[in-house]
């Protein structure tokens, strides 16, 4: 009887150990690629990637954290060359390490939405990439960086996050990189998706998703930057009452390959801007019309198959659909690495 009891206990213990081992093996590995920003900007010196991970006690319950220091600076100081390098690094990480479940990228919030959308178009994997930051620095009472970072790791490690494109996680909410924008210079709930709503939430019990983005991104994107060494210059100018077209001409003369106009209303310009757009188009510069309002579409014109050929001005004028000016700039930069066809660029603005 005693031998049977010992044997039963041994079998039970072995089963429990096997179950514990299997559960431990299922904990996803998530890697932090730190670039700096307010989330790291402690008085007297910036927190390193390792120190950021150390701010999250209990993270091992959700993921096995890894980390690397890509940069440690303000987001406004990150260069376009570094954007390319970050995208290439993420693609290389996923290629070399098939077991890696997700990647978290820290960024300053000032240009976070720009980096996130660039990665949304250039990361060639459907595995999660989550961009995160904080509005308060580590030396400030109420610093929320550690909570945001933990949420980002949890989202990146969640199987349901796969295939949703690059995401932005702050203030317990999950937003799509394509749609999110910074709406307030100080408030913690600054990152919002106007009109379309959040993708999901990072609550204490679990990660909950409500929808997906229909536009092309990540693994469905045609923008492979593997061999891209530099991004073309694209400038942004705004429409306002009496706006001079000579600013558009100056951008074209200074070497801009594309210009994004943040127009009034649904594509209206002012002053002599229309003349400036014509000048730029004649020089082969593509001009994208977007809305300065922060939301709303500038609808792309659909041309009949038997329509007359476009003039140079028409060929080089692109309707930006619902992309904000800063994101239209990113898509145009990437489009110009692939084509000089106005029709093809307009297609990209419809699909991405």
Q: Determine which one of 5, 8, 10, 38 is catalytic.
A: 38
Q: Which residues of 51-88 are buried (b: 16+ CB within 10 A; e: fewer)?
A: ebbebbeebeebbebbbebbbbbbbeebeeebbbebbb
Q: Between the CA atoms of 113, 116, 118 and 122, what dihedral angle is there, to the nearest 10 degrees?
A: -170
The answer to whether 127 touches 102, Cβ cutoff 8 Å, is: yes
- What six digits make up the tokens of 120? 């949304």
Q: How many CB atoms lie within 10 A of CB 97?
A: 12
Q: What is the DSSP letter of 306?
A: T
Element (H, E) at 180: none
Residues 296/268, Cβ–Cβ less than 8 Å: no
- What Rg value do the Cα atoms of the chain yield, rounded? 24
Tokens linked to 138: 């580590």
Catalytic residue check, 38: yes
Q: Would you please indicate which residues are annotated as catalytic (active-site) residues?
A: 38
């Amino acid at each position: 009887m005693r031998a049977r009891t010992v044997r039963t206990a041994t079998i039970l213990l072995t089963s429990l150990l096997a179950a514990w081992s299997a559960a431990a093996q299922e904990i996803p590995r998530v890697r932090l690629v730190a670039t700096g920003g307010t989330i790291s900007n402690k008085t007297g010196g910036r927190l390193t990637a390792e120190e950021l991970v150390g701010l999250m006690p209990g993270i091992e319950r959700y993921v096995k954290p890894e980390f690397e220091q890509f940069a440690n600076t303000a987001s406004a100081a990150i260069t376009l060359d570094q954007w390319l390098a970050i995208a290439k690094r993420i693609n290389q990480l996923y290629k070399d390490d098939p077991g890696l479940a997700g990647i978290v990228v820290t960024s300053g919030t000032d240009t976070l939405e720009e980096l996130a959308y660039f990665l949304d178009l250039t990361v060639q994997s459907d595995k999660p990439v989550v961009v995160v930051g904080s509005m308060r620095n580590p030396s400030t009472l109420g610093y929320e960086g550690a909570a945001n970072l933990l949420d980002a790791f949890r989202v990146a490690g969640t199987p349901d996050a796969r295939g949703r494109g690059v995401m932005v996680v702050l203030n317990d909410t999950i937003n799509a990189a394509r749609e999110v924008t910074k709406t307030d210079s100080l408030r913690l709930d600054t990152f919002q998706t106007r009109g379309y709503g959040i993708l999901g939430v990072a609550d204490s019990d679990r990660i909950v998703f409500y929808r997906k983005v229909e536009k092309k991104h990540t693994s469905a994107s045609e923008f492979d930057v593997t061999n891209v060494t530099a991004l073309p210059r694209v400038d942004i100018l705004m429409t306002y009452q009496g706006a001079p077209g000579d600013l558009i001409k100056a951008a074209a003369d200074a070497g801009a390959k594309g210009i994004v106009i943040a127009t009034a209303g649904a594509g209206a310009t002012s002053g002599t801007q229309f003349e400036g757009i014509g000048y730029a188009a004649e020089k082969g510069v593509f001009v994208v019309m977007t809305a300065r309002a922060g939301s709303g579409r500038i609808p792309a014109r659909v041309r009949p198959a038997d329509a007359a050929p476009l003039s140079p001005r028409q060929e080089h004028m692109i309707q930006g659909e619902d992309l904000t000016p800063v994101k239209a700039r990113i898509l145009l930069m990437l489009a110009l690495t692939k084509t000089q066809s106005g029709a093809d660029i307009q297609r990209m603005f419809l699909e991405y």
